[in-house]
């Protein structure tokens, strides 16, 4: 065991660099495991040491649990930080870390088991008094048809062990159900190794609101306010903000209370995000799921609370108690995060990997940039399309929107197609400015190739 803490970073891209930087501020060493396609990232340059796990495909590197644990042990690491995606929500991986003397920087294996299955997460939410959308599991198409008739259309068919929009289908009427149920089940089986799906009533005028929670091993659990992530395309978030301006004050308090019921009911350890749908017409709140890890959009919460979430996540994993109480958490200002991606808005947001020939981020005060890019970087085709996160913070939403628009306008990026022009248009759109959008708004605007 080293005299100085050493953390293995089991991820890539901007979150890997974010973790490395947090460890540097704590005085910890880092070991970064990379694929052969990621030898030259900024995170690889910043980490204390870098080891190559295997080939460029995730299954040969970032998802290879044995290789990750072996690399962490062989380099004398005390702990493993999984970031988001990849192994971050795998209960078996968290358990394997513990079995090999490694601290898993995240929820416990038992908590991951409960939260990793959306059906068990729904059941747990109900058990602590948190409302869920009408719905339930369906083992056969006949069961799905019977349940759909009871809860009414439109409905969502959702993978029980999925995410990112895979294994999820919207069904408007009974005649569409059979095909949607079969396709969702097949997609879920292919993507997650489990074809179990369930039905959930679709909320038409929905806002996507999530609450950040943080717990330690000493029984403390706090919330750090909410984020709104309504601007999505095919269930992939594009813009996130904190706080939400769409909530009635009483509903904001209810959301925070529901999130704490789940966190405290689980004796939750680490960072977690409790996600809800909020019906702006009826003010109904419905539990969606818990993401037991750091989120892509965590910077907007950091911006309005002043709390370094990744730092606190690491410290509680090593046994520290939270250094603040709920009364200490104060939200100030408004923050907006834009996801800059290597995707083509004129071609259904399809991925556009390639060489980055020009990269000049906007030098504007009040704007944070989380990225692993540099000029000359070869953006690989093997992973997600996220290039950078642009986070603008202002005294209010109007100020933050204007600052975000200026930052995107002045960002210079060449060599591959990005969604920069789409982001600029969205920031100027009256519906976005007024925050009257719903989770399906952008897909409706994209219908038949239209751009908002």
pLDDT surpasses 90 at 446: no
Domain count for the chain: 3
130-145: average pLDDT: 90
Query: Of 106-110, 136-140, 406-410, which gets the smallest average pLDDT?
Result: 136-140
Looking at the structure, tell me whether residues 169 and 261 fall in a common domain: no
- Compare 196 and 265 and report the one with higher pLDDT: 265
pLDDT of res. 188: 82
pLDDT of res. 452: 66
pLDDT of res. 1: 39
74-96: average pLDDT: 97
Looking at the structure, tell me whether residues 410 and 333 fall in a common domain: yes
pLDDT of res. 202: 87
Looking at the structure, tell me whether residues 161 and 227 fall in a common domain: no
Looking at the structure, tell me whether residues 409 and 292 fall in a common domain: yes
pLDDT digits (tens, 9 = 90+) for 371-411: 999 999 999 999 999 999 999 999 999 999 999 999 999 99
125-154: average pLDDT: 91
Q: What is the CATH number of the domain that holds 46?
A: 3.40.50.20
Query: Of 11-15, 115-119, 272-276, 370-374, which gets the smallest average pLDDT?
Result: 115-119
Please report which helix (H) or strand (E) contains residue 239, including its range: strand 236-242
Q: What is the CATH number of the domain that holds 174?
A: 3.30.1490.20
Q: How confident is the model at residue 450 (pLDDT cuts 50, 70, 90)?
A: low
Query: Phi first, then psi: what are they for 200, rounded to 5°?
Result: -150, 135
pLDDT digits (tens, 9 = 90+) for 307-319: 999 999 999 999 9
In a domain, 314, yes or no: yes
Looking at the structure, tell me whether residues 156 and 291 fall in a common domain: no
Q: How confident is the model at residue 86 (pLDDT cuts 50, 70, 90)?
A: very high
Please report, in angstroms and rounded to a whole number, the separation of the first and last CA atoms in the chain: 56
pLDDT of res. 197: 87
pLDDT of res. 43: 95
Coil/strand/helix, residue 259 = helix
In a domain, 226, yes or no: yes
Active site residue 293: yes
- Compare 196 and 68 and report the one with higher pLDDT: 68
pLDDT digits (tens, 9 = 90+) for 220-270: 999 999 999 999 998 899 999 999 999 999 999 999 999 999 999 999 999
Q: At what angle do helices 309-317 and 13-26 cross, to 10 degrees?
A: 70
Looking at the structure, tell me whether residues 306 and 383 fall in a common domain: yes
Looking at the structure, tell me whether residues 88 and 155 fall in a common domain: no
Q: What is the CATH number of the domain that holds 392?
A: 3.30.470.20
Looking at the structure, tell me whether residues 24 and 160 fall in a common domain: no
pLDDT digits (tens, 9 = 90+) for 23-33: 999 999 999 99
Q: How confident is the model at residue 448 (pLDDT cuts 50, 70, 90)?
A: low
Per-chain mean pLDDT for the chain: 94
Among the candidates 166, 201, 236, a domain finishes at 201
Give the burial string for 64-100 (b: 16+ CB within 10 Å, else e).
Answer: bbebbbebbeebebbbbbbbbbbbbbbbebbbbbeee
75-97: average pLDDT: 97
Tell me the residue range of the domain where 238 lies. 206-449
Looking at the structure, tell me whether residues 191 and 214 fall in a common domain: no
Radius of gyration of the chain (CA): 21
Question: Which residues are 341's β-sheet partners?
Answer: 386
In a domain, 126, yes or no: no
In a domain, 160, yes or no: yes
Burial class (CB in 10 A: 0-12, 13-18, 19+), 346: exposed
Looking at the structure, tell me whether residues 158 and 293 fall in a common domain: no
Give the C-alpha separation, 259 to 262, whole Å: 5
Query: Of 15-19, 39-43, 200-204, 391-395, which gets the smallest average pLDDT?
Result: 200-204
Q: Which of 6, 18, 254, 293 is catalytic?
A: 293
pLDDT surpasses 80 at 165: no
Tell me what percent of the residues of the chain surpass a pLDDT of 90. Answer: 82
pLDDT of res. 2: 44
Looking at the structure, tell me whether residues 312 and 420 fall in a common domain: yes
pLDDT of res. 208: 97
Among the candidates 180, 201, 222, a domain finishes at 201
The whole model's pTM is what?
0.93
pLDDT digits (tens, 9 = 90+) for 279-315: 998 999 999 999 999 999 999 999 999 999 999 999 9
């Amino acid at each position: 065991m080293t005299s100085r803490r050493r953390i293995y970073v089991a991820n890539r891209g901007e979150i890997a660099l974010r973790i490395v930087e947090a460890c540097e501020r704590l005085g910890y060493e880092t070991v970064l495991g990379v694929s052969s396609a990621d030898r030259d990232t900024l995170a690889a340059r910043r980490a204390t040491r870098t080891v190559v796990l295997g080939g460029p495909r995730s299954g040969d590197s970032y998802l290879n649990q044995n290789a990750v644990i072996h690399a962490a042990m062989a380099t004398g690491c005390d702990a493993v930080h999984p970031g988001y995606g990849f192994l971050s929500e795998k209960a078996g991986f968290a358990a394997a870390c513990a079995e090999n003397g490694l601290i898993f920087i995240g929820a416990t294996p038992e908590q991951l088991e409960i939260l990793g299955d959306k059906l068990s997460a729904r059941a747990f939410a109900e058990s602590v008094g948190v409302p869920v959308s009408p719905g339930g599991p369906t083992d056969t198409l006949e069961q799905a048809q019977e349940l759909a008739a009871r809860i009414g259309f439109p409905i969502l068919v959702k993978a029980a062990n999925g995410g990112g929009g895979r294994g999820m289908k919207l069904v408007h009427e009974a005649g569409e159900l059979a095909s949607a149920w079969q396709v969702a089940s097949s997609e879920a089986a292919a993507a997650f190794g489990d074809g179990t799906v369930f039905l959930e009533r679709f909320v038409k005028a929905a806002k996507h609101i999530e609450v950040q929670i943080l717990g330690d091993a000493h029984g403390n659990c706090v919330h750090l306010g909410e984020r709104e992530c309504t601007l999505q395309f095919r269930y992939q978030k594009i813009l996130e903000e904190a706080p939400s301006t769409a909530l009635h004050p009483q509903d904001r308090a209810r959301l925070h209370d529901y999130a704490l019921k789940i966190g405290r009911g689980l004796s939750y350890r680490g960072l977690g995000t409790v996600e809800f749908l909020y019906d702006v017409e009826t003010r109904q709140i419905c539990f969606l799921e818990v993401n037991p890890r750091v989120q892509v959009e965590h910077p907007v919460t950091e911006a309005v609370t002043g709390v370094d979430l990744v730092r606190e996540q690491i410290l509680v994993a090593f046994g520290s108690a939270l250094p603040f109480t709920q009364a200490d958490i104060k939200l100030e200002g408004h923050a907006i995060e834009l996801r800059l991606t290597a995707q083509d808005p004129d071609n259904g947001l399809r991925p556009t990997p390639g060489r980055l020939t020009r990269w000049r981020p906007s030098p504007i005060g009040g704007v944070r940039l989380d990225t692993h890019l540099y000029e000359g970087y070869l953006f690989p085709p093997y992973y997600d399309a996220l290039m950078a996160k642009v986070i603008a913070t202002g005294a209010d939403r109007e100020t933050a929107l204007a600052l975000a628009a200026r930052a995107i306008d002045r960002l210079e990026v060449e060599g591959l197609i990005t969604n920069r022009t789409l982001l600029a248009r969205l920031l100027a759109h009256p519906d976005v400015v007024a925050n009257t959008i719903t989770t399906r708004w952008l897909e409706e605007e994209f219908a038949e190739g239209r751009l908002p």
